[in-house]
Amino acid sequence: MVAALYRLHPQQTSLRDALRAAELAGLDGQVVLDPFAGTGTLVYAAARAGARFVVGSDIEDWSEYLRPQLSEVQNFALYWRVDAMHAVKRFEHDVLFTDPPNPARVDGSAPISLVRDFGISGSQLKSMFSFNERNLMGREWVTVTYVVRLIRYELEQGRRVVVHAFRDSGRDFDWKKILRRHFHVRTIYDDYVEVV
């Protein structure tokens, strides 16, 4: 059996956790934006959690790698090759619900399943893609500075901000710790936080 292409996205996140976080985040009736949409995990989760409409965008074109579950929902739109800072200014929304790029790595969080299902390693996976020069995956402090600036902009616009503030234990990187240096942070579920 050929495994679904969406699993090749180098920094994909858990659908189960995203669904739970979306449920607890109070997205019901809201217009939600995920400007780092990737395979659409959070877009789907927000739509399932009762969002009125969900916009997802990404600097790359991941249209061939979308999660198959997206076919179960209708109230969303996806835009490709849009920089996140541009997206927050261009698309009307009430809530930012997003999973920012991992500054520390681009070679996949589930190499064992990649080897099992596709016969490829994390580093081979990395070489399969040629990313846009503005792609922030694995760009260290550039990524952090950009995401902090984006969140600050959103708060200034009076929008709610819910972030998947994940920890990359392999590289000793922790979004929650970083966000706490700049903002007040309230845990919603596991690594998902509301930034205020």
Ligand X SMILES: C[S@@+](CC[C@H](N)C(=O)[O-])C[C@H]1O[C@@H](n2cnc3c(N)ncnc32)[C@H](O)[C@@H]1O
Q: Which stretch binds ligand X (CB under 6 A): 9-17, 24-32, 106-114, 155-163?
A: 9-17
Q: Least separation, in Å, of the C-beta of 68 and ligand X?
A: 13
Residue 108 lies near ligand X (rule: CB under 6 A): no
Rg, Å, the chain Cα set: 16
Helix (H) or strand (E) holding 116: helix 111-118
Contact, 41 vs 67, CB < 8 A? yes
Among 129, 135, 178, 182, binds ligand X (CB under 6 A): 135
Contact, 190 vs 21, CB < 8 A? yes
Give the dihedral of Cα atoms 103, 104, 107, 112; nearest 10 deg: -120
Among 45, 55, 58, 191, binds ligand X (CB under 6 A): 58
Q: Is the CB of 11 or the CB of 69 nearer to ligand X?
A: 11
Among 7, 90, 126, 134, binds ligand X (CB under 6 A): 134
Q: Is the CB of 184 or the CB of 192 nearer to ligand X?
A: 192
Q: Least separation, in Å, of the C-beta of 142 and ligand X?
A: 10
**Is residue 124 classed exposed, middle or buried when 0-12, 13-18 and 19+ CB atoms within 10 A define those classes?**
middle
**Is residue 57 classed exposed, middle or buried when 0-12, 13-18 and 19+ CB atoms within 10 A define those classes?**
buried
Q: Least separation, in Å, of the C-beta of 140 and ligand X?
A: 13
Residue 109 lies near ligand X (rule: CB under 6 A): no
Residue 165 lies near ligand X (rule: CB under 6 A): no
How many other C-beta atoms lie within 10 A of the C-beta of residue 27?
25
For ligand X (CB under 6 A), the number of binding residues is 22
Binding site for ligand X (CB under 6 A): 9, 11-13, 35-36, 38-39, 41-42, 58-60, 83-84, 99, 101-102, 134-137
